[in-house]
């Protein structure tokens, strides 16, 4: 994959900011989110919440995050890194 | 957890692999401590007909057995099974690809080809294994499976057993399916997995749109028609037939343990290379073939279902009557209209659901208590499945039982 810098390529910080707005309606207890914040543990996401949240991200970035990829994503930092990589490819 | 023994030995502390199920054990104990009859330990001491049994000592109307067409006591079905057992013995003791294919295994596959008007049919030992085997074999590494989030456990397990990328979409949401299909990398193999009737709520999928969109994006389509065979569609071939898209479906999965009234699973297809599945599908190869009696009974039942017009009409009458009656009593149902032979009655929570289930059992009515993780969105349901052999009087009796139990428990 050639790394020709497209002008609208998002930085990890951009991706982080975008997903932060998407997660708001799902973060019902208003838990402070850091890189190490986990979805199943800290945010208490059940499988349906995960599906809805993932669908929001997929629609926003026009990507697919398969269940196989989701299985590797446990915390916020991993999610931002994965989405950044997906939307960049 | 120090004990005298640990104190004297240097052996590593054993990890109890069953400890992870402690929350489930607790929930169950709480339920039973409340005095409820165990909903998951019911015994049918005698089965009197497709619609009546002696359950835990009581004469009970069966409204939760998926025995849609009432074929379990059909005299021809029983006679065919008896004869095959006499002539071919009790079991096959072998895999279909070695010594486990008898005359009647071939015959039941012929009956399925006749029933569906398709070129190929492959019989598995259960419906679960049919989904497990076909899905895990079709979609391999680098391929994509796009499936409804409310898919049956056997579909999910088929995904887990293969190496494909698994992409779920929101239940029955045509747009969500299309968006995902669009994003899949060009050139990747795609299998869209749908069900005709979803067994928890008894709702039907918009297959016409979904199959069209899947085909437009170059995907192969598999439809599980377990809960529609025999009574939905002009020939009883299911929802895909009813909605006019059966010719565009690549694989139909079904079961013998519902309308056919026996046990076993199958896949039918017109794909010219389908027969190779017999060699490469592990849940087909590495298990024993069904007993000859089951095969002969199933073949007879399938052929009788091809001429079951009157029974089908009566089944639909029963479904409409029960649905309307329950709504009038004030129960909340899974679908606004009767879409299949399944009617899901929504319960406020597991405790009330279990109490209602028990109250109905004491009235003499058996329904399924369905709860998470089998149900979507953490719901507790009392799931009713109607039978073509339920009489109109029985349906009225059932409504009376629901009314008394619902008032006693305070749900209506």
| pLDDT value for B377 | 79
Are A67 and B179 an interchain contact pair (Cβ–Cβ within 8 Å)? Answer: no
pLDDT tens digits in sequence order for chain B, 412 residues long? 445 555 555 678 899 999 999 998 998 888 888 878 887 889 999 999 999 999 989 999 999 999 999 999 999 999 999 999 999 999 999 999 999 999 999 999 999 999 999 999 999 999 999 999 999 999 999 999 999 999 999 999 999 999 999 999 999 999 999 999 999 999 999 999 999 999 999 999 999 999 999 999 999 999 999 999 999 999 999 999 999 999 999 999 999 999 999 999 999 999 999 999 999 999 999 999 999 999 999 999 999 999 998 999 999 999 999 999 999 999 999 999 999 999 999 999 988 999 999 999 999 999 999 988 778 778 999 999 999 999 999 999 999 999 999 999 999 9
Pairing type for strands B380-385 and B342-347 reads: antiparallel
Chain A residues whose CB is inside 8 A of the B175 CB are none
Cα B333 to the center of its chain, rounded Å: 19
Complex ipTM more than 0.90, yes or no: no
Contact B270, B119 (CB under 8 A): yes
Are A64 and B167 an interchain contact pair (Cβ–Cβ within 8 Å)? Answer: yes
State the Cα–Cα distance between residues B191 and B393, nearest whole angstrom. 45
| pLDDT value for B5 | 53
State the Cα–Cα distance between residues B56 and B52, nearest whole angstrom. 13
Of B77, B51, B47, B75, nearest to B65 by C-alpha is: B51
- Measured between its terminal Cα atoms, the distance across chain B in Å is 48
Contacting residues for B31 by C-beta, under 8 A, at least 6 apart: B39, B350, B351, B354
Token digits for B407? 């008032």
| pLDDT value for B280 | 97
Distance from CA of A47 to the nearest CA of B (A): 9
Distance from CA of B191 to the nearest CA of A (A): 14
| pLDDT value for B35 | 79
State the Cα–Cα distance between residues B212 and B277, nearest whole angstrom. 25
If you measure CA to CA, which chain A residue comes closest to B167? A66
- Integer angstrom CA distances of residue A19 from A27, A48, A51, B92: 12, 18, 15, 57
Is B199 annotated as catalytic?
yes
Give the helix/strand (H/E) hosting B55.
Answer: strand B52-55
| pLDDT value for A71 | 94
B203 DSSP β-pair partners: B198
Pairing type for strands B380-385 and B368-370 reads: antiparallel
Query: Does A48 have pLDDT greater than 80?
Result: yes
Of B389, B399, B411, nearest to B69 by C-alpha is: B389
State the Cα–Cα distance between residues B67 and A18, nearest whole angstrom. 51
Residue B44: count of CB within 10 angstroms of its CB: 14
| pLDDT value for B6 | 53
Are A58 and B179 an interchain contact pair (Cβ–Cβ within 8 Å)? Answer: yes
In a 13 Å sphere around the CA of B389, the CA atoms on its Cβ side amount to: 20
State the Cα–Cα distance between residues B398 and B362, nearest whole angstrom. 12
Of B258, B259, B236, B231, nearest to B246 by C-alpha is: B236
| pLDDT value for B3 | 52
Size of interface A-B (CB pairs under 8 A): 35
Give the helix/strand (H/E) hosting B106.
Answer: helix B103-116
Indicate the length of chain A as a whole number. 89
Active-site option among B190, B258, B304, B323: B258
Give the best residue of A1, A53, A54, A55 to mutate against chain B (max B CB count within 10 A): A55
For the residues of A47-74, what is the DSSP string, one character each? HHHHHHHHHHHHHHHT----HHHHHH--
| pLDDT value for A69 | 95
Are B149 and A48 an interchain contact pair (Cβ–Cβ within 8 Å)? Answer: yes
| pLDDT value for A3 | 46
Of B177, B237, B236, nearest to B206 by C-alpha is: B177
| pLDDT value for B10 | 67
| pLDDT value for B32 | 85
Q: Is the whole model's pTM more than 0.80, yes or no? A: yes
Of B202, B198, B204, B185, nearest to B146 by C-alpha is: B185
Are B179 and A51 an interchain contact pair (Cβ–Cβ within 8 Å)? Answer: no
Is B227 annotated as catalytic?
yes
């Amino acid at each position: 994959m050639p790394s020709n810098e497209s002008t609208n390529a998002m930085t990890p910080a951009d991706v982080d900011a975008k997903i932060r707005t998407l997660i708001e309606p799902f973060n019902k207890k208003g838990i402070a989110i850091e890189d190490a914040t986990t979805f199943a543990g800290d945010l208490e996401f059940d499988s349906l919440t995960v599906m809805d949240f993932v669908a929001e991200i997929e629609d926003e970035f026009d990507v697919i995050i398969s269940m196989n990829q989701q299985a590797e994503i446990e915390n916020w930092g991993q999610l931002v890194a994965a989405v950044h990589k997906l939307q960049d490819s | 957890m120090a004990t005298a023994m640990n104190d004297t030995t240097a052996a590593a502390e054993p990890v109890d692999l069953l400890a992870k199920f402690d929350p489930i054990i607790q929930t169950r104990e709480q339920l039973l401590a409340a005095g409820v009859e165990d909903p998951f330990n019911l015994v049918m001491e005698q089965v009197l007909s497709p619609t009546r049994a002696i359950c835990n000592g009581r004469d009970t109307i069966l409204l939760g057995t998926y025995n849609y067409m009432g074929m379990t006591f059909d005299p021809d079905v029983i006679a065919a099974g008896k004869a095959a057992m006499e002539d071919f013995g009790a079991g096959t003791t072998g895999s279909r690809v070695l010594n486990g294919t008898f005359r009647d295994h071939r015959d039941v596959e012929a009956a399925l080809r006749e029933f569906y008007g398709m070129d190929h049919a492959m019989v598995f030992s259960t419906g679960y294994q049919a989904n497990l085997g076909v899905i895990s074999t079709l979609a391999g590494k680098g391929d994509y499976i796009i499936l409804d989030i409310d898919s049956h456990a056997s579909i999910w397990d088929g995904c887990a057993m293969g190496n494909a990328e698994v992409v779920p979409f929101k239940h029955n949401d045509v747009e969500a399916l299309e968006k995902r299909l669009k994003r899949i990398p060009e050139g990747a193999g795609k299998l869209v997995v749908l069900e005709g009737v979803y067994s928890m709520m008894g709702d039907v999928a918009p297959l016409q749109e979904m199959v069209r969109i899947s085909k437009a994006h170059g995907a192969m389509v598999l439809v599980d028609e377990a809960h529609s065979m025999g009574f939905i569609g002009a020939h009883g071939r299911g929802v895909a037939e009813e909605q006019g898209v059966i010719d565009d479906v690549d694989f139909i999965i079904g079961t013998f343990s519902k309308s056919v009234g026996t046990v076993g699973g199958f896949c039918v297809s017109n794909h010219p290379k389908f027969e190779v599945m017999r060699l490469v599908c592990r849940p087909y190869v590495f298990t024993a073939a069904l007993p000859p009696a089951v095969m002969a009974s199933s073949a007879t039942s399938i052929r009788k279902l091809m001429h079951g017009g009157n029974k089908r009409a009566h089944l639909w009458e029963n479904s409409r009557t029960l649905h309307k009656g329950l709504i009038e009593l004030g129960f909340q149902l899974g679908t606004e209209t009767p879409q299949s032979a399944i009617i899901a009655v929504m319960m406020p929570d597991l405790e009330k659901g279990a109490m209602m289930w028990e109250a109905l059992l004491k009235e003499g009515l058996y329904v399924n208590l369905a709860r998470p993780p089998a149900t979507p969105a953490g719901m507790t349901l009392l799931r009713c499945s109607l039978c073509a052999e339920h009489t109109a009087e029985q349906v009225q009796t059932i409504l009376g039982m629901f009314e008394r139990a619902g008032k006693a428990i305070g749900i209506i």
